[in-house]
Amino acid sequence: MPKDTLPGLTACNYAMLRRATRKLGQFYDDVQAPSGLKATQQGLLYQIHIGDEPAMGAIAAALVMDLSALGHTLKPLIRDGFVETFADPDDRRIKRVRLTQQGRTKLDEAMKLWQTAQQRFEDVVGKEKAERLRAVLDDISALDFDLPPAT
């Protein structure tokens, strides 16, 4: 255990996952910095791109976040002209999101940097271990942790 780790930290799944997430977030943000985007913004642009004008609810569900958090994350991307929202033509209550041409250009730039980060991560961690990690995290994100009703 590293010298600067607090006692008890390693016994908590949540604390260790958050610690690793912060470390990886800093790493990916540093690699992504030349694009002017945070790693979370690059990931969001990518989800919008592959979603083919997805509904905001679908993006929020895929990223396991609530709509207000998604709206907050989208604001700077809209402000900077990378993303635009629009009403679904079949159901105007549904808000959809799409990349602008400027957003597609920014995503291309960011994806090159992302590939660099991915490769560095796999070089350090190992390709097979990285694949196993993604599979385990995907399995965990699909679990239902709802508590039974209190008696």
CATH number (domain holding residue 48): 1.10.10.10
- pLDDT of 8 above 70: no
Domain-embedded: residue 1 = no
- pLDDT of 147 above 80: no
How many structural domains comprise the chain?
1
Q: Which of 2-6, 9-13, 115-119 has the highest mean pLDDT?
A: 115-119
Domain-embedded: residue 120 = yes
- pLDDT of 4 above 70: no
Domain-embedded: residue 89 = yes
Q: Give the whole-angstrom CA distance, residue 126 versus residue 114.
A: 17
Give the CA distances from residue 62 to residues 2, 32, 139, in Å, rounded to whole numbers and listed in that order.
Answer: 34, 22, 13
Q: Tell me the CB-side half-sphere exposure of residue 134, using CA atoms within 13 A.
A: 9
Domain-embedded: residue 111 = yes
Domain that holds residue 41: 14-141
Express each pLDDT in 76-89 by its tens digit: 999 999 999 999 99
pTM, rounded to two decimals: 0.84
Domain-embedded: residue 2 = no
Domain-embedded: residue 7 = no
